[in-house]
Amino acid sequence: MLGFDVERGDRWLERWLPSIAAHAAGGPVLELGCGKGRDSAELAAAGMPVIGLDRSAVAIASARGRVPSGAFHCQDIRARFPVADESIGVVLASLSLHYFDWPQTTGLVERVRRTLRPGGMLLCRVNSTNDHRHGASGHPAIAENFYLVEGRPKRFFDRAAVDRLFAGGWRSLACEEKVIDRYDLPKSVWEVALERAT
């Protein structure tokens, strides 16, 4: 594994690596909400350059330690991306798009679409409305399926909301509700892969 520290468990990217490599075509993968670099390390181990964004300086320091070849930026993913429009073949956003109100969420997805080259790929995971162990019920509501969970806003998606979020300018490759083993308790998510259509 080229010396990268890739943790076992939640190895969700494995099945996507051939498609990611094909869409990236040798260019970098832009990872939104890269955290401590778990997925970044798996991408780098597969030979792909990574540009990672996360608002936590501690997480970014960890990601830099794991993937010295990566270009990591400490910033909110709602801020301007450090890449040009239509310059990226793949954007990865695992569990990072569901913290915002609906206008911010749709605006962020549109910026992702503009960042991708035509035919570029977005691979993402978002909270499911069935994710009751991680906040989909029992918390103060901000709006429909949007709750204040332990002081932090979290959005939860059903299939209709996923379809609505990616209704314009996208071609669906896959959309599947899954239970993942990333945390102490199982987590329900939507795993979504799309291509920029226009």
Residues near 114 by Cβ (< 8 Å), separated by ≥ 6? 85, 86
pLDDT tens-digit readout, 99-145:
999 999 999 999 999 999 999 999 999 999 999 998 999 999 999 99
Residue 182's domain comprises: 14-127+156-196
140 domain residue, yes or no: no
133 domain residue, yes or no: no
pLDDT tens-digit readout, 50-74:
999 999 999 999 999 999 999 999 9
DSSP structure class, residue 81: P
Domain count, the chain: 1
139 domain residue, yes or no: no
Three-class HEC string of 25-42: CCCCEEEECCCCCHHHHH
141 domain residue, yes or no: no
CB 67 within 8 A of CB 34: no
Confidence bin at 184 (pLDDT 50/70/90): confident
> What CATH number does residue 168 fall under?
3.40.50.150
69 domain residue, yes or no: yes
134 domain residue, yes or no: no
138 domain residue, yes or no: no
pTM score, whole prediction: 0.93
132 domain residue, yes or no: no
